[in-house]
């Protein structure tokens, strides 16, 4: 599985699986802003640091909770 496929599977596809894609699972106006910002150059870098903590900032409902 490619990194991009893993991200889609764990975000919008997961939201569709639990019938919540209208409110979560992607970055769109009107959806809840639960977001992590990672310290890596792009999504292809994530698997190479598996097990390491890449999280730089965490937003829960649009508010910074870690960062």
What average pLDDT does range 24-46 have in this prediction? 93
Q: In whole numbers, what is the pLDDT of the chain averaged over residues? A: 94
2 confidence band (pLDDT: 50, 70, 90): very high
Q: Kindly list the structural domains of the chain, giving each domain's residue range(s) and its CATH number in brackets, ordered by start.
A: 3-66 (2.30.40.10)
What's the CA gap between 10 and 6, in Å, rounded?
A: 6
What average pLDDT does range 32-61 have in this prediction? 93
């Amino acid at each position: 599985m490619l990194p991009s496929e893993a991200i889609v599977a764990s975000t919008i596809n997961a939201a569709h699986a639990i019938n919540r894609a209208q409110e979560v699972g992607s970055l769109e106006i009107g959806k809840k802003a639960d977001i992590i910002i990672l310290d890596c150059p792009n999504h292809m870098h994530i698997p190479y640091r598996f097990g390491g903590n890449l999280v730089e900032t965490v937003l829960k409902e649009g508010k910074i909770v870690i960062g």
